[in-house]
Amino acid sequence: MSTQNDAAVLHALFNPNAPFGDISERNEENLQEEANQDCKFPADLLEEARNLELLGVQSAESGDPNTAVERFSKAIELLPDRASAYNNRAQALRLQGDITGALEDLNRALELSGGKGVAGRQALVQRGLILRLKGNEEAAKNDFLLAANQGSEFAKQQLVVLNPYAALCNRMLRDMIQKLCVPDP
């Protein structure tokens, strides 16, 4: 398992448009949920997989997504039914430009996690971002909604951005403020 600082740095790397610090999802309740999901794995393999993930995070932080993918893949080989490494590898694959591979890993992470817990929420947000970039806003909204319902602040912000009424209100508010600042002659 990565430290709070590792998670924040990795989050900032993979989500440059997200507000820094939107890692509040790693609260005590979510950490307990993650621990409950991990308790089904042998302790020695779990520790080794977590260490590999930590090394993968460090590789990604240092700008080496190839090594990150290798380390996440080794963690997956150790525990193929654990969602976390798939989610992390998906992010590294996305950095490499392998969108298809990233989506496959995100779908697998969602399948394993049931879309719940930290890994499930993160996979929903990551898949939502990819779907949005691919122009599939309806599917992206669905993923963001599922993640937002589990407490993801970033997903909530994305839902606002994707709401055409919110965009219209923002534009009207901007125009009104601009007219107040520069009145018509």
Expressed as residue numbers, the domain containing 127 is 4-181
**Secondary structure (DSSP) of 33-56:** HHHHHHTTS-HHHHHHHHHHHHHH
The answer to whether the beta carbons of residues 28 and 113 sit under 8 Å apart is no
| CA atoms within 13 Å, Cβ hemisphere of 110 | 19
- At 35, the pLDDT band (50, 70, 90 cuts) reads low
- At 47, the pLDDT band (50, 70, 90 cuts) reads very high
What are the Cα distances from residue 123, in Å, to 17, 45, 89, 127? 17, 23, 11, 6
What is the domain-level CATH number for residue 63?
A: 1.25.40.10
From the list 31, 89, 8, the residue with the least C-alpha distance to 55 is 89
Residue 178 has pLDDT above 60, yes or no: yes
The answer to whether the beta carbons of residues 29 and 37 sit under 8 Å apart is no
pLDDT digits (tens, 9 = 90+) for 127-169: 999 999 999 999 999 999 999 998 889 898 888 888 767 666 7
- At 38, the pLDDT band (50, 70, 90 cuts) reads confident
What pLDDT, on a 0 to 100 scale, did the predictor assign at position 161?
A: 80
What pLDDT, on a 0 to 100 scale, did the predictor assign at position 28?
A: 55
More confident residue, 13 or 102: 102
- Indicate the number of domains in the chain: 1
Query: What's the rounded mean pLDDT across residues 167-174?
Result: 70
pLDDT digits (tens, 9 = 90+) for 85-138: 999 999 999 999 999 999 999 999 999 999 988 889 999 999 999 999 999 999
Helix-helix angle 4-14:83-96, to 10 degrees: 40
Q: What percent of the chain has pLDDT over 70?
A: 75
134: which 2 tokens?
A: 């691919």
From the list 43, 41, 118, the residue with the least C-alpha distance to 84 is 118
